[in-house]
Amino acid sequence: MIARILKIICILLSLIFTPLTYASDTLSSFPSDQSQDPMRNLNQGIYKMNDALDKGVLKPVAKAYDTVTPNAVEKSVHNFFMNLQRIPSFINDILQVNLYYAAADLWRFTINSTVGIGGLFDVASAMDVPYFPNDFGLTLARWGWRESSYFIMPFWGPSTIRDAIALLPYYFMTVYPYIHPAWIGWTLLGIDAIDMRTQYLKLEDLRAQASFDPYVFQRNAYLQRRNSMIAKITGHPLKNNFEDELDHDDDENTNSKENTNSKETTKTTPKK
């Protein structure tokens, strides 16, 4: 019963936000030099909500998991879920007609599922088998939808209109919907989410040291990563629309420091 309720909630969220975000995306389908973040006010509100949820629930759970779980076990759990991701990745390789990626994903999954004991050990990496993460959002990009507006999904995190729409089809490419009883699949999804959040604990110091606000840092990091992945599969690099904004932020910080230093120098200079 609980599993069915959770599934209904996830589907409803997708149905609610997908039409809204799709309609908003039409506003950004003008010249390519326009910002990829036309819904910034909405995104910042969702970001604050997600950040509060993360600090109140997800981060404490991830920290507790990281503390009580031995490193070797934690690594094996991470390897297990990374191995499961080879299945939807392989499907999207085929949809993109990328036989090289498909062969690499199939070979990696076969090695880690057998020699790696169900994916608990990443033997394929030790054998230098290539690793190519892939998903349905990249498939849509491969077939023409390369540029898309930035959108933060409630309870999920950074995304784009394209990637948000692709999330539901991608879910049905994974093994989770086909695991019975259903509660086992949802339990695995929960553990996978905790594992992902635990991996991000190591990146928080980098975000804390950023000279610009965390919203901008998260947005740019996500879009740069996705644009890099899209460029790899399409051969068409996308323009980073936020470089000027970052330069502007850095210039403001530099000018602010220079003005402060100038004032301090004026105050400390003795009068003649």
User: Would residue 261 count as lying in a domain?
Assistant: no
Retrieve residue 203's tokens.
């990146």
Q: Which pLDDT tens digit goes with each residue over 41-93? A: 999 999 999 999 999 999 999 999 999 999 999 999 999 999 999 999 999 99
User: Would residue 129 count as lying in a domain?
Assistant: yes
Over residues 2-7, mean pLDDT: 44
pLDDT at 233: 86
Q: Which range in 12-26, 188-202, 206-220, 238-252 is most confidently predicted, on average pLDDT?
A: 188-202
Question: Does the pLDDT value for residue 168 go beyond 50?
Answer: yes
Separation between Cα atoms, residue 209 and residue 203, nearest integer Å: 10
The more confidently predicted of residues 199 and 241 is 199
Give residues with Cβ within 8 angstroms of 256, minimum separation 6.
none
User: Would residue 128 count as lying in a domain?
Assistant: yes
Q: How confident is residue 238, by pLDDT bands cut at 50, 70 and 90?
A: low
Separation between Cα atoms, residue 160 and residue 240, nearest integer Å: 14
Q: Name the least confident of 37-51, 77-91, 181-195, 229-243.
A: 229-243
User: Would residue 152 count as lying in a domain?
Assistant: yes
Give residues with Cβ within 8 angstroms of 109, minimum separation 6.
83, 86, 87, 90
Does pTM top 0.75 for this prediction?
A: no
Q: What is the mean pLDDT of the chain?
A: 79
The more confidently predicted of residues 27 and 104 is 104
Report the half-sphere exposure of 78 (CA within 13 A, side-chain side): 16
| Domain count across the chain | 1
pLDDT at 234: 82
What is the Cα 151 distance to its own chain's centre?
A: 12
Q: How confident is residue 164, by pLDDT bands cut at 50, 70 and 90?
A: very high
Q: Which residues pair with 153 in a beta bridge?
A: 157
Question: Does the pLDDT value for residue 167 go beyond 50?
Answer: yes
CA-atom Rg of the chain in angstroms: 22
Separation between Cα atoms, residue 175 and residue 46, nearest integer Å: 29
User: Would residue 219 count as lying in a domain?
Assistant: yes
107, 124 Cβ separation under 8 angstroms:
yes
Over residues 235-263, mean pLDDT: 51
User: Would residue 263 count as lying in a domain?
Assistant: no
User: Would residue 99 count as lying in a domain?
Assistant: yes
- Domain extent at residue 43: 37-238
Over residues 90-112, mean pLDDT: 96
The more confidently predicted of residues 235 and 63 is 63
Q: How confident is residue 236, by pLDDT bands cut at 50, 70 and 90?
A: low
Residue 226 has a CB neighbour count (10 Å cut-off) of: 22
User: Would residue 83 count as lying in a domain?
Assistant: yes
Separation between Cα atoms, residue 230 and residue 145, nearest integer Å: 10
